[in-house]
Chain A
Amino acid sequence: MIHLAGVTMKLPSGPDTTPFLRDVTLSLPTHLRCAVLGGLPASRTHFLRLICGKERPEKGEILTQTRFSIIGNSGTYFHPGLTGLENITFCARRYGIDAWSLTKMAVGFEKIEADWPALTNKLPVKKRRAMEILVSALLPYDCYLLDDIDQVPPAVLEPLFEIIGARRAGVIFTARTAKHVRQFGDCGGVIGSNTLQMFSQVEEALALHG
């Protein structure tokens, strides 16, 4: 679980500088598939950065023992100047695991079409994002974070949720539309009116979101 205690948070820049969360106190399950809807796209991303500890709240505390993954689909983890293999090697080195094994696992997904020649070159943005998501799924975390699930190709989403399901880990993902929320979500939350409302059923969250 992740506990938000009196958390106030606003976007660091942009036209909307009013807090998108004001004095929010709630507990978020990190062992389920939890969808987050509503608010501006930037505020949803910022919310994910907040819960994984990369941002600090303006006010309040965030308490958790959960090990969160990178925020998948943010496109900021793999270095654009390096090849796919070099980026995977960096991730493997960071965790002290064998880079060769991690690479073999990453390219083992037939649906991704992450062939060897492609990996030895600098990856285009779309492929880089897909590879980021898959590599993070192969690393051991308690809860995986995924931003803007609607932008992720279905060929990546299926193996991703397969791996996470097998590991019995949780997922917190942000979404704009109902399709993926219904397909992958166990519970849902909606950002709006300076608060985050949690629902045990995704349909309730979707009904509020509209």
Chain B
Amino acid sequence: MPSLSGADGGLGLPAGHGVLRVAYTHAAHRLTVLIEDWLIIRAIILRSLRVRHSGNPLGIFVEVFRPIVICTAHYFYFSLMQRNVPGNQFAIFTIGGFSVWFTFIAAYHGAFDGAKYPAGSHNIPGITRMHLRVAAVFWAFILYLFFANAVVAPLQIIGQPVTTPDLGLSIIDYGVAALLGFGYGLVCAAICQVVPALKPVVKILEWAVFITSGVYDSLLTIPIPVAKIIQYNPLIDLAEYQRHAYYPGYPIYMVTLTYPAIWAASLVFFGLATNRVLGRRR
């Protein structure tokens, strides 16, 4: 049994391994912090679900009710209007596009105003407003990943040619969409904090991002001048990849996952940095 007062600090390491000891202690500390953060985020998610749905007979299933309604309405719109959709895969086109958009926008709102109404939880030791934001983003990721997989069975029952999506690709897709929303939300929150007059502009931008996010169009089926503009929206790459995850024959030769991933990493980095600077100033 190693002694805590020993030369190795109780870690059972050979003598003279000072650097290793420091690294070990640092890693153990980081792990403890990560576990604590995970406990906090889990507790916040479960509490906010309880608060939102405690009086509702449908409970947590209300969360997927809205996406189901919107996707169904758009499916009928696309199929009845015979929109130009690659392979005429209307169900895949609708669900792939909208689920990515929902993940992004839920994560965006989580980062933008997820910490506005903490209901006392941020006063509990160890819980910060950033935990509330991350909890909202994480829930968006989990919910829409679940939604994208759960809709497959009912669609197959009604005879739609849908297969279970590629889980690995879906996780990457929704993960990047959630991070994009998180970073974009943090940046917008910082902008609105510094210049409150820009709030309407941020709202208009949200609408512009939606229109160009690929929920209504594919890069392959729109005129080239329009495609040249909307290809700059990283969400269209994610929407096309998610459609490809449902149906391996769906064409993805004009999109890439690297582009949205770079956007996500940059926005998260910039958003966290500005959040820290503004937090200090406050």
Does B51 contact A79, Cβ atoms closer than 8 Å?
A: yes
CB distance from A76 to the nearest CB of B (A): 4
Partner of B120, one of A78, A93, A94: A78
Q: How many pairs, one residue from A and one from B, have CB atoms within 8 Å of each other in the complex?
A: 54
Q: Bound complex: CA of A46 vs CA of B119, how far in Å?
A: 18
> Interface on B for A, CB 8 Å cutoff?
35-36, 39-40, 42-43, 46-47, 50-51, 54, 119-121, 123-127, 282
A69 close to chain B: CB less than 8 A: yes
Q: Bound complex: CA of A148 vs CA of B183, how far in Å?
A: 41
Q: Bound complex: CA of A67 vs CA of B124, how far in Å?
A: 12
A210 close to chain B: CB less than 8 A: no
Partner of B123, one of A70, A91, A95: A70
Does B50 contact A86, Cβ atoms closer than 8 Å?
A: yes
Q: Which residues of A contact B54 (CB under 8 A)?
A: 81-82, 86
Does B43 contact A94, Cβ atoms closer than 8 Å?
A: yes
A77 close to chain B: CB less than 8 A: yes
A120 close to chain B: CB less than 8 A: no
Bin the interface of chain A by size: 20 to 34
A133 close to chain B: CB less than 8 A: no
Does A82 contact B50, Cβ atoms closer than 8 Å?
A: yes
For A63-79 the 0/1 string (1 means CB < 8 A from B) is 00001111100101111
> Across the two chains, which residue of chain B brings its CB closest to A83?
B54
Partner of A94, one of B35, B126, B282: B126
A54 close to chain B: CB less than 8 A: yes
> Across the two chains, which residue of chain A brings its CB closest to B38?
A96
Known: A77-B123, A77-B124. Contact between A96 and B39, CB under 8 A? yes
Q: Bound complex: CA of A95 vs CA of B32, how far in Å?
A: 12
Q: Bound complex: CA of A94 vs CA of B124, how far in Å?
A: 9
Q: Which residues of B contact A54 (CB under 8 A)?
A: 123
Q: Which residues of B contact A74 (CB under 8 A)?
A: 123
Does B40 contact A94, Cβ atoms closer than 8 Å?
A: yes
Q: Bound complex: CA of A141 vs CA of B124, how far in Å?
A: 12
Known: A90-B43, A94-B43. Contact between A79 and B125, CB under 8 A? no
CB distance from B194 to the nearest CB of A (A): 19
CB distance from B48 to the nearest CB of A (A): 9
Q: Bound complex: CA of A76 vs CA of B39, how far in Å?
A: 21
Q: Which residues of B contact A93 (CB under 8 A)?
A: 39, 42-43, 46-47
Partner of A76, one of B46, B123, B125: B123
Q: Which residues of A contact B40 (CB under 8 A)?
A: 94
> Across the two chains, which residue of chain B brings its CB closest to A74?
B123
A52 close to chain B: CB less than 8 A: yes
Cβ contacts A to B, 20 pairs, < 8 Å:
A52-B125, A54-B123, A56-B282, A69-B125, A70-B125, A74-B123, A76-B123, A77-B124, A79-B47, A79-B119, A81-B54, A86-B50, A86-B54, A90-B121, A91-B124, A93-B39, A93-B43, A93-B47, A94-B127, A95-B39
